[in-house]
Amino acid sequence: MVASVATSAFFPVSSSLSVASANGSKIINESSESLSVRGIVAKPSSSSGALKVKVQAQALPKVNGTKVGLKTEAQTAEEGAPSAPRTFYNQLPDWSFLFAAVTTIFLAAEKQFTLIDWKPRRPDMLADAFGLGKFMQDGLVFRQNFSIRSYEIGADRTASIETLMNHLQETALNHVKRAGLMGDGFGSTPEMSKRNLIWVVTKMQVLVEQYPSWEDVVEVDTWVAPSGKNGMRRDWHVRDYGTGKTVMKATSVWVMMNKQTRRLSKIPEEVRAEIGSYFVDRGPIIDEDDRKLSKLEHDTADYVRSGLTPRWGDLDINQHVNNVKYIGWILESAPTTILESHELVGMALEYRRECGKDSVLQSLTAVSSNGGASADGPQEAGLECQHLLRLESGAEIVRGRTEWRPKRAQGLQNMGPLPAGSG
Amino acid sequence: MAEILRCFISAGPIQFREAAPAVQCGGRRTAAAVRCVSRAAANGRAGVAALGLVAGAAAEVEEKGLAERLRLGSLVADGLSYKESFIVRCYEVGINKTATVETIANLLQEVGCNHAQSVGFSTDGFATTPTMRKLGLIWVTSRMHIEIYKYPAWGDVVEIETWCQSEGKIGTRRDWILKELATGEVIGRATSKWVMMNQHTRKLQRVSDEVREEYLVHCPRTPRLAFPEEDNGSLKKIPKLEDPAQYSRLGLVPRRADFDMNQHVNNVTYIGWVLESMPQEIIDTHELQTITLDYRRECQHDDLVDSLTSSEVTEDENTNGTSTSMLHKQDLQQFLHFLRLSGTGLEINRGRTEWRKLTR
């Protein structure tokens, strides 16, 4: 079922990438990259339990300024942690080193002073505050909070869909890490890493009920379940921390793949032993939408946006583009009129292939209306769009479908500049 | 009530010429700004209200301060600077397994906004003083200088302190210090210069005494500099790089996510564009230690942007014209940058970066 659908989607096609920069400028990245598929879980490997200890240590400062637990744990962690690429002070100009030394001295005094002001309310809120998350329900559900930062807001003053999807990714990784299952940092468990196996996302479905605003706090719950015989499903439920109301629900399907051969794999018994106990016996949080995602072509699309290229900041440690970026690119070709009048409430994605720094992408969108018009008239009806993100050379990256509803708070939309005395 | 610091967000760079759609300062969050006003303490020492974590805060503050408590930011006791801690998330980490410079810049922006809000500035999201609003004046960034000595990794907690001061007759300065919360080690510093501009005429304006009084109460009394040392990089002039540039990336396209709600490109996006034309061999072997950007003009929705880079020659070294032979005495590579509108060639900003070798 799912796995078999995924099978056909996943065999990478090595395409000749045109490493294009416009107008004949000097080509910077000449290596052509053979495309390979990877999963959303394969994210930066700041590895290991040692790091985990360190972070927890940070989260528990003592109110009176005594930092007994803090320092020692951090130090142990430092010794244990594998060295990430860092620069050492002895490589810096001397003044910088002196400045740091002087600052450290003042800091010790300052820290005493500022910590006194900060009275933690409850220990679990502290852990949440630093975004570490915690296990719920006998360890089967992992929960983490995020406060929406100012730069995560989109054009209409609410958190963008990319921000929400980023939170899902962070929670998933922290779930794996806190369960002690972080192998080589790709979201692969130790037994998977031994066998060069990775999880790869094939499908994602999202339903948004309301978008949070700047400074809202969202609470994200995540859990895993089996998907067929050899797949895994990961679901999320995002709520507004203050009101408890649902912000978003999401469900995703993953398959196991050998990262060298790129072939799909069954779940080995050893891996099943590691993760089986984490599988929850629950149906998907969103009813699966069985409708096929159609393939768009240039002539069937209503809008096309070409020349999309990854920036350095879009890449993860393997220099592959973070999956969440695809969503931004998909929406690049959605017409501005829809973005201004409607908000995204549903999304279904099929991941086919991934891309790297040298890829040049094209985003296609076709618009169709939903079946019934709402009582408010045809303008108030929902909309549906079909999407395709592909390389300009043709290879498909993601197929998608989005659903939109008219924005509710129309009053907020036309807020312009300064209220006082402005034109 | 003093407002200085305007959020860094869509700080439109200075426009010397033609009118373009208004350079809006930072304003995205009018809804949140309303909350902020009610949060500001009645006695004018808004610091008290902002310290939502202090027991005994009013019930209203407590309810509204949820995000503040969880965000762990507050004015320092003397009310003259603001500190906040952030945990680095997995999607903010880049190819070196450490936070990207864009992530750092975003956090600087965030803490600047939160500072402004915590002293009761952003009633309209623009961090302008009442006098400024009366006169239609806004803050724009003219220079940004960031130095990072140690990039934080996923899960690290960074504490950022920020404050502002007046700078000469026409500007203000916002400084930041970044520390690793666990060890207290300084991992970075930054400074930015802001000038006041009339948003209709696009002309620069002197900071009047009225405005100065309104915000001085929130600044440290004696000069406090993130870069106190003489001859520091944040003051160096940036020349225009010579034609032809060694490396370029032409026709860069602004994405939807790059724009704030006033349709101005976020400052952090410019940083990404400046780095686009860096050669792969440097990106693979070095990490960015310093970036200095002078903002001149901004980019609109339909513009395309060219990013140009060349090595910068220092007087100590010979060069055969390739960046790999350029070695600063501390093994730093230096580059000059230029961003321009593709169509007209007009300068958007210019910059300088320094890169240190990665120890792997």
Provide the CA B136 distance to its chain's centre, in angstroms: 23
C-alpha distances in angstroms, A78 versus A43, A50, A111, B91?
A: 22, 8, 21, 23
Which tokens belong to A406?
Answer: 């008219």
Interchain proximity B54–A86, CB inside 8 Å: no
Indicate the average pLDDT of chain A: 71
Question: Backbone phi, then psi, for A259, in 5-degree steps?
Answer: -75, -15
User: Which uninterrupted H or E stretch holds A197?
Assistant: strand A197-208
A303 neighbors A365 (Cβ within 8 angstroms) = yes
Residue window 224-243, chain B: list those with CB within 8 Å of chain A. 229
Given CB atoms, is B347 within the 8 Å cutoff of chain A?
Answer: no
Position B288 scores a pLDDT of 95
Which residues are CB-contacts of A94 (< 8 A; sequence separation ≥ 6)?
none
Q: What is the C-alpha radius of gyration for chain A, rounded to an integer number of angstroms?
A: 24
Length of chain A as a residue count: 423
What tens-digit pLDDT sequence spans chain B (360 residues)? 333 334 333 334 433 333 233 333 333 333 333 333 333 333 333 333 333 333 333 433 433 445 555 556 788 877 788 999 999 998 898 888 899 999 999 999 889 888 887 776 654 445 667 777 778 887 788 999 999 999 999 889 999 999 988 877 778 889 999 999 989 999 999 999 988 878 777 777 777 777 777 777 777 777 788 888 877 888 888 988 888 999 999 989 888 888 865 667 888 999 999 999 999 999 989 999 999 999 988 888 788 999 999 998 765 444 444 444 344 445 789 999 999 999 899 999 999 999 999 886
CA–CA distances in Å: residue B208 to residues A420, A422, B24, B139, B205: 19, 20, 20, 13, 8
Task: Please provide residue A113's backbone torsions phi and psi, each rounded to the nearest 5 degrees.
Answer: -70, -45
CA distance, residue B229 to nearest chain A CA (Å): 8
Whether the pLDDT of residue A391 is over 70: the answer is yes
The pLDDT assigned to B258 comes to 85
Catalytic residue among B145, B218, B264, B337: B264
C-alpha to C-alpha distance for A320 and B22, rounded to whole angstroms? 37
Q: What is the pLDDT of residues A214-244, one digit of tens each?
A: 888 999 999 999 998 889 999 999 999 999 9
Dump the DSSP string for A216-247. Answer: -EEEEEEEEEEETTTEEEEEEEEEETTT--EE
**Radius of gyration for chain B, computed over Cα atoms and rounded to the nearest angstrom:** 20
Q: In the structure, what pLDDT confidence band is assigned to residue A36 with cuts at 50, 70 and 90?
A: very low
Tokens coding A321: 């583009």
Secondary structure of chain B in HEC code, one letter for each residue:
CCCCCCCCCCCCCCCCCCCCCCCCCCCCCHHHHHHHHHHCCCCCCHHHHHCCCCCCCCHHHHHHCHHHHHHCEEECCCCCCEEEEEECCHHHECCCCEECHHHHHHHHHHHHHHHHHHCCCCCCCCCCCHHHHHHCEEEEEEEEEEEECCCCECCCEEEEEEEEEEECCCEEEEEEEEEECCCCCEEEEEEEEEEEEECCCCCEECCCHHHHHHHHCCCCCCCCCCCCCCCCHHHCCCCCCCCCCCEEEEEECCCHHHECCCCCECHHHHHHHHHHCCCHHHHHHEEEEEEEEEECCCCCCCCCEEEEEEECCCCCCCCCCCHHHCCCCCCEEEEEEEEEECCCCCEEEEEEEEEEECCC
pLDDT at B353: 95
* Both tokens assigned to B127: 């961090």
Distance in angstroms between the alpha carbons of the first and the last residue of chain A: 59
Are B31 and A412 a contacting pair at CB < 8 A?
A: yes
Tokens of A66: 């005594």
- pLDDT of B203 reads 77
| Whether the Cβ atoms of residue B137 and residue B170 lie closer than 8 Å to each other | no
Give pLDDT tens digits for A210-220: 999 988 899 99
Write the CA distances from B263 to B124, B136, B199, B299, integer angstroms: 17, 19, 15, 10
Closest CA to A12 of A42, A43, A41, A38: A38
Contacts of A173 in chain B (CB under 8 A): 90
Residue of A nearest to B284 (CA): A319
Contact flag A418-B74 (C-beta cutoff 8 Å): no
Gap from B216 CA to chain A (nearest CA, Å): 23
At A116 the pLDDT is 40
Is there a contact between A333 and A303 (Cβ–Cβ < 8 Å)? yes
Please state, for a pLDDT cut of 90, what percent of chain A lies above it.
Answer: 27
Partner A contacted by B54 (CB < 8 A): yes
Number of residues written out for chain B: 360
Q: Is the pLDDT of residue A126 over 60?
A: no
**Chain B window 138-197: which residues touch A at a Cβ cutoff of 8 Å?**
138, 149-151, 153-157, 177, 179, 181-186
Angstrom distance (rounded) from CA A390 to CA A296: 10
Looking at per-residue pLDDT, the higher value among A18 and A134 belongs to A134
For A88, the 3-state DSSP assignment is coil
Is the pLDDT score of A52 beyond 80?
Answer: no
Q: Residues B164, B299, B337, B349: which is the catalytic one?
A: B299
Please check whether residue A104 touches B, CB under 8 A.
Answer: yes
Q: How many whole angstroms separate alpha carbon A313 and alpha carbon A302?
A: 30
Place of tokens 């999201």: B125
A70 has a chain B CB within 8 A of its CB: yes
Is B299 catalytic? The answer is: yes
Cβ neighbours of B96 in A, within 8 Å: 84-85, 317
| Chain A partners within 8 Å of B287 (Cβ) | 85, 87
CB neighbour burial string for B100-134, b if at least 16 within 10 angstroms, e if fewer: bbbbbbbbbbbbbbbbbbbbbbbbbbbbbbebbbe
Indicate the DSSP class of residue A393.
T
The pLDDT score that the predictor gives to residue B45 is 35
A83: nearest CA in chain B?
B360
Say if the Cβ atoms of B87 and A130 lie within 8 Å. Answer: yes
Quick one: how far is CA B317 from the chain centroid?
32
Among candidate residues A358, A360, A367, the one with its CA nearest the CA of residue A333: A367
Interface of B with A in 265-324 (CB under 8 A): 266, 268, 272-273, 275-280, 283, 287, 289, 304, 306
Q: State the ipTM, two decimals.
A: 0.73
* pLDDT at residue number A57: 35
What is the nearest CA distance from A229 to chain B, expressed in angstroms? Answer: 30
Residues from chain B that touch A313, judged by Cβ atoms under 8 A, are 94, 100, 102, 272, 275
Taking the Cβ of residue A11 and every Cβ of chain B, the question of whether any pair is shorter than 8 Å is answered with no
SS3 A367: strand
Q: What is the DSSP letter of A298?
A: T
Question: Mean pLDDT, to the nearest integer, of A143-168?
Answer: 88
How many angstroms away from the CA of A240 is the closest CA of chain B? Answer: 11
Give the pLDDT score at B232: 81
